[in-house]
Amino acid sequence: EIGDNSHCLNFDIQDQDAITAAVNGLPAEFSDITILVNNAGLALGMGGADTSEMSDWNTMIATNISGLVATTHAILPGMVARKRGHVVNLGSVAGTYPYPGGNVYGASKAFVHQFSLNLRADLFDKNVRVTSVEPGMAETEFSVVRFDGDAGKADGVYKGMTPISAEDIAETIYWTTMMPAHVNVNVIELMATSQ
């Protein structure tokens, strides 16, 4: 669907060395990254803080925080040197509105929100924009992963409501990146009408 004007990379977002190697190994025609969309993120389980698995917490932190930070760190210097760029970080309403079982996932998305604002403060005079896009309930593979592949349980999350879609979120990201260069959308929160 993307066509010939694409270059795919496959690496573990939790592996900082793999991120650095991927960015440093980009072909010349793809190395001047203008827009970075940090979309890697996951939630594991819905247990309370007292019953959650420490390995799940570590995986969420490694993906939602460390992977996002390492990717940004690898790409940002080029944007600053070229005096143009846009970092779009995918947060979540879970970073603002706590819910039972959201413990480390919600905390990691609160980090994404604050990190985005701090990046914005560091980059305001470098012509690099930063946006935190914070969706609510969206029907993607997110809940299937959260419930360890149990599609029935994942479908139950959206019972009786119409969730937002991946396309809704993509359209929102696209809009933020297509604003005139002098406009920075700091934070955008979106939810399903019935959430």
**161-182 residue pLDDT tens:** 898 999 999 999 999 999 999 9
What are the backbone dihedrals phi and psi of residue 120, each rounded to the nearest 5 degrees, phi first? -55, -45
pLDDT over 80 at 149, yes or no: no
**Residues tagged active-site:** 105
**Residue 123 contacts by C-beta under 8 Å, 6 or more apart in sequence?**
76, 80, 129, 130
Per-residue pLDDT, 145: 72
With bands split at pLDDT 50, 70 and 90, how would you rate the model's confidence at 45? confident
Quote the CA–CA distance of 37 and 178 in Å, as a whole number: 14
| Nearest partner of 110 among 132, 138, 91, judged by Cα | 91
Per-residue pLDDT, 178: 97
Specify the pairing of strand 85-90 against strand 128-135: parallel
Q: Give me the percent of the chain exceeding a pLDDT of 90.
A: 74
pTM of structure: 0.91
The residues with which 164 forms a beta bridge, in sequence order, are: 138
